[in-house]
Structure 1
């Protein structure tokens, strides 16, 4: 039985106070341009530069793969009818040639490929780009498509550049509705294969390319708002900001607490907790996931004069990595956000798949990733019968377990999970640690805050309780990969000694109790929990902090030096405190009605100032 919503945490219910559209402020005085005004501003800059060089103006409109280029081109043509429109992708290598090039990265597997190291130049013919650059010098021209900025050096500064950027989550939603990969004729292909092509190839190449533009681009346009369907009459045109506003907004964000835009998705095991407490669409059967701190896929909403513009949160990671992550974390991971917070909702739902994550050596050698998906389950809420499956039982025969898993894949012989896998009762605020190689799953009637490393698609399902996906297709099981990674020594005794109830009190007084709740010594993430009634002082100590309010209704984050405006956080919201912030305090607000509060804070172990 699950608990009533009003009893799901101490104090009063916070139904609907979770902010699903958090924003980051644009610099004062910066405007979001839209429609004809936006394109006129871009054209005017291109014309000014052309007057200096004595050539015809050229506007380079470079798009992230996934942007609807035909819809974009129609808007440009309507706004700039006197300009010639040219598709840069006419200079791309033939489709069949690109397909052969990337085939080793895509593999035959439905889910997993190999990380690519291509650059966008590899997909283009240099001679055709030269010819295209020569052809656009005689008349005002707009060059559109992924790779338009490849012409910039060939035009010797006689152009202006617009980056049309797009969040990966929006790309995935469109692919589910029939959108294709870049220059691929695959509208009806399995969505997992579309995602694989983006994850392992297209998005890697696109990110390398756009990072070269950040310091000099002139404008950024919200590609999420460009769609082929007729927009609603009241819907605003896609927003555009100047490159200066883009760079300053990201710099500002890297010096204050902020939230990315969470997204929610249903699943075969999904539950009702998020729908009820957060106030999501009640017509949906369930919500299984919420990614509320996965900058690789989440967005930032920049808000200012003219509304909001949506950009990938990853742009902040790429453009301000030292300010955001800290020097030591950046040195260790590069411009990559290593910590992920997300929700797994099985309240009135089903068990997650029984699974295991790859060891570091395996993920490096097999998929080209440089670190793996260590993780943990923090129980934000539970029903009376909640359990976590974790580690194998003592005395089992690994070969027999693997044989029973293989037999179960026929759909007629259920896998006897209770025979082989430990099942631990789960209580609210329990924290279960799951280093890679450990067999695990969350049971039904749980609300899990998953705290983990970021490489989040590398899950080897071992048993999925005989289910099919929401699309009616059996969910992929990777027993071969899983068998190579299960650490059989992580049995009942080892798990109880190392992964269950590992709470260590570090400090306690009348005001604050600070605890270390994990993770395991094999994992790089440090997690601290703070209990308080009035407030608790923190310091980033030179590394990024990721925090969730796991108890209490409302707090605010304040700077002791007033370096940023107070930042209000509600129950269950995840927020990021950049390394550059330094000292900060989390305290109750005048509106808080809860008797006490708790936060869980994750950081990269060994990167704090003073660590050896």
Structure 2
């Protein structure tokens, strides 16, 4: 097999893995006893003669015993009441309540529309509130849903949001952490994730949205009991600083914090290119623009940071971030996803299909589906993409062969049924939902897609086990119902391969449309330039990646924000509120040519009908 090592001519090691968003100039990150003393002082000020009360409403996944210990060490005279222990329903009742959402499937459930009060007993909530009022000691109410108790108590209180990012929750679950109040430390991590994705996180985000405007402090629960060694000291910022930083991010370029994960098919490109941990066997994924999963690092002038979910920005500033038309279409959801799939010196991705819109709506409760595309950041000499059916195949024979393959009797002959196309650097393959596809080995893919990202129906996984030693889930029954059999060789070649259209060329700047297919809602434009290129959000969020060139900077023509530097392969977000902006080479750039890939939502730009 030809080697597929990263090209020595491309930039290495300048990819920023810990991008930050600035806090207001006068804001500081508080830590340890100083932080909780500040909270206590604020509560005493609000109490106005009554007993001080602090509410620490913690996102499910936060380590409550560690938070309680930190508070107790700082405020030894304060009583700490765990509302989850005093007022939550028994686990058996919770399990029965969410059983239909979880289903028996290992991966897929149905979206919950419940709210957090469904997990609490009304009488026990009332009793806990009465207990708070009857005790003359200063009190901390702690736990997910603690705000429910405080509102019943009808007394002034200070509200602390102990926030968590989903990636940190997943890492902890892999190490044995349970779901919220569940007794499942040894359960398959995919089932833990399913419970979070379809139930807990949906409910928690609804609850969190009721507090954003009222929260007095935000505590970084990611840093307390973090899954990875070398974690920072857990910090806290005021609610005012949090809201100001989030609002600021919605009006200038920013990046979310990327995270990387190994996989059974993972490669070596990111390890070398992005200066990652060389001791890891591989890296399969990098999620560098998935706001449901990624974080923001809010940094003060001294360099101290607190980590908050990037979803907080989507939930609190949807119109400024997304634009009014995109918000009207999707609500407070970020509809565009950029991520990396690295198979350099690795293996093929699973052969797969994504659900059609009608299917995902009626089966899983999602209102749009995962249309996507593969953009080749790099490729080995033998790189290829599996895409669409070969002409004249027998669909019943193909499904029979797939089912036999799952028994281990014989492998599936993929190339008997599925087209293969050679793939080279900067090729773009379009993959509307319902299209059979896979990225082959020795490819570095920038995947541009719609956001509902767990809805992949694997048809064949080359007989592999996952890194956990368990066969990766295959969903032939789901997959068969979503395969668009008419997408044969001729249709695929005419619609999904090589769809680059030059829109303008003035010698210095070339603008091209590279996709996506007309069935997909994402528009992708590529710009080649040597000096600078002018852009305008036109009222909708832009997501970009620097696919060629060592570094560039995003500049406001009116000076509305400081120049924002981006490095090769970094994904960055330009909120709709930014309007006009320039991307240009920096003074220290050494590249002769630059290229960006820009995605936006079709039909949402200002002036479009």
**Shorter-normalised TM range:** over 0.9
What's 1:465 paired with? 462
Instruction: Give the deviation of 1:4 after TM superposition.
Output: 4.3
CA spacing shift, 1:315–1:480, aligned 2, 3 Å: same
SS in 1 for 2:554: strand
SS in 2 for 1:225: coil
Measure, in 2, the Cα distance between the counterparts of 1:14 and 1:419.
Answer: 39
SS in 2 for 1:530: strand
What's 1:554 paired with? 551
Deviations 1:149-175 (A, max 9, x none): 112322324111100001000000000
CA spacing shift, 1:175–1:231, aligned 2, 3 Å: closer
SS in 1 for 2:374: strand
Instruction: Tell me, yes or no, if the aligned pair for 1:34 and 1:236 is still in contact at 8 Å.
Output: no
More moved, 302-311 vs 379-388: 302-311
Query: Structure 2: where are the runs of 5+ without partners?
Result: none
Instruction: Give the deviation of 1:15 after TM superposition.
Output: 1.1
Instruction: Give the deviation of 1:508 after TM superposition.
Output: 0.7
Instruction: Tell me, yes or no, if the aligned pair for 2:264 and 2:466 is still in contact at 8 Å.
Output: yes
Instruction: Tell me, yes or no, if the aligned pair for 2:341 and 2:447 is still in contact at 8 Å.
Output: yes
Q: How does 1:326-345 map to 2 (within 5 A)?
A: 326-345=323-342
CA spacing shift, 1:340–1:251, aligned 2, 3 Å: same
What's 1:583 paired with? 580
CA spacing shift, 1:604–1:228, aligned 2, 3 Å: closer
Q: Among residues 11, 18, 36, which one is paired with 2:15 in the alignment?
A: 18
Measure, in 1, the Cα distance between the counterparts of 2:42 and 2:123.
Answer: 28
Task: Work out whether 1:533 is the aligned partner of 2:534.
Answer: no
What's 2:490 paired with? 493
SS in 1 for 2:339: strand
Measure, in 1, the Cα distance between the counterparts of 2:164 and 2:472.
Answer: 28
SS in 2 for 1:136: helix
Instruction: Give the deviation of 1:398 after TM superposition.
Output: 0.6
Task: Work out whether 1:298 is the aligned partner of 2:298.
Answer: no
Deviations 1:308-341 (A, max 9, x none): 1111000000000000000000000000000000
Q: How does 1:395-410 map to 2 (within 5 A)?
A: 395-410=392-407
Task: Work out whether 1:63 is the aligned partner of 2:61.
Answer: no
Measure, in 2, the Cα distance between the counterparts of 1:283 and 1:198.
Answer: 30
Instruction: Give the deviation of 1:230 after TM superposition.
Output: 13
What's 2:239 paired with? 243
Q: Among residues 35, 42, 46, which one is paired with 2:43 in the alignment?
A: 46
Task: Work out whether 1:191 is the aligned partner of 2:173.
Answer: no
Measure, in 2, the Cα distance between the counterparts of 1:228 and 1:264.
Answer: 16
SS in 2 for 1:152: helix
What's 2:542 paired with? 545
Instruction: Tell me, yes or no, if the aligned pair for 2:61 and 2:179 is still in contact at 8 Å.
Output: yes
Deviations 1:247-298 (A, max 9, x none): 0000000000000000000000000000011110001110000000000000
What's 1:171 paired with? 169
Instruction: Give the deviation of 1:57 after TM superposition.
Output: 0.8
Deviations 1:330-387 (A, max 9, x none): 0000000000000000000000000000000000000000000000000110000000
SS in 2 for 1:349: coil
CA spacing shift, 1:144–1:283, aligned 2, 3 Å: same
Instruction: Give the deviation of 1:227 after TM superposition.
Output: 1.0
Measure, in 2, the Cα distance between the counterparts of 1:25 and 1:535.
Answer: 26
What's 2:92 paired with? 96
Instruction: Give the deviation of 1:511 after TM superposition.
Output: 1.6
Measure, in 2, the Cα distance between the counterparts of 1:231 and 1:279.
Answer: 18
Q: Among residues 207, 210, 223, which one is paired with 1:209 in the alignment?
A: 207
Q: How does 1:256-405 map to 2 (within 5 A)?
A: 256-305=252-301, 307-405=304-402
Measure, in 2, the Cα distance between the counterparts of 1:487 and 1:175.
Answer: 37
Task: Work out whether 1:563 is the aligned partner of 2:563.
Answer: no
SS in 2 for 1:37: helix
Instruction: Give the deviation of 1:5 after TM superposition.
Output: 2.7
What's 1:5 paired with? 6
Structure-1-length-normalised TM-score: 0.97
Q: Among residues 154, 158, 178, which one is paired with 1:156 in the alignment?
A: 154
Instruction: Tell me, yes or no, if the aligned pair for 2:175 and 2:227 is still in contact at 8 Å.
Output: no
Measure, in 2, the Cα distance between the counterparts of 1:318 and 1:210.
Answer: 9
Task: Work out whether 1:85 is the aligned partner of 2:62.
Answer: no
More moved, 298-307 vs 149-158: 149-158
Q: What is the number of residues matched between the two proteins? A: 604
CA spacing shift, 1:149–1:588, aligned 2, 3 Å: same
Task: Work out whether 1:125 is the aligned partner of 2:121.
Answer: yes
Measure, in 1, the Cα distance between the counterparts of 2:192 and 2:511.
Answer: 45
Instruction: Give the deviation of 1:49 after TM superposition.
Output: 1.3
Measure, in 2, the Cα distance between the counterparts of 1:107 and 1:65.
Answer: 21
Measure, in 1, the Cα distance between the counterparts of 2:419 and 2:353.
Answer: 14
Task: Work out whether 1:111 is the aligned partner of 2:112.
Answer: no
Measure, in 1, the Cα distance between the counterparts of 2:227 and 2:469.
Answer: 28
Deviations 1:25-73 (A, max 9, x none): 001100110000100111111111112xx32111000000000111111
Measure, in 2, the Cα distance between the counterparts of 1:379 and 1:5.
Answer: 13
Instruction: Tell me, yes or no, if the aligned pair for 1:388 and 1:423 is still in contact at 8 Å.
Output: yes
Measure, in 1, the Cα distance between the counterparts of 2:429 and 2:331.
Answer: 28
Instruction: Give the deviation of 1:228 after TM superposition.
Output: 8.1
CA spacing shift, 1:461–1:231, aligned 2, 3 Å: closer
Instruction: Give the deviation of 1:231 after TM superposition.
Output: 8.6
More moved, 120-129 vs 29-38: 120-129
Instruction: Give the deviation of 1:133 after TM superposition.
Output: 1.1
CA spacing shift, 1:394–1:243, aligned 2, 3 Å: same
What's 1:446 paired with? 443
More moved, 144-153 vs 58-67: 144-153
Structure-2-length-normalised TM-score: 0.98
Deviations 1:538-565 (A, max 9, x none): 0000000000000111100000000000
Deviations 1:453-493 (A, max 9, x none): 00000000000000010011000000000000000000000
Instruction: Tell me, yes or no, if the aligned pair for 2:388 and 2:489 is still in contact at 8 Å.
Output: yes
What's 2:67 paired with? 72
Deviations 1:97-125 (A, max 9, x none): 11100000000000000000000011111
Measure, in 1, the Cα distance between the counterparts of 2:23 and 2:149.
Answer: 30
Measure, in 2, the Cα distance between the counterparts of 1:236 and 1:478.
Answer: 40
Which 4+ stretches in 1 moved above 3 angstroms?
228-232
Measure, in 1, the Cα distance between the counterparts of 2:586 and 2:226.
Answer: 45
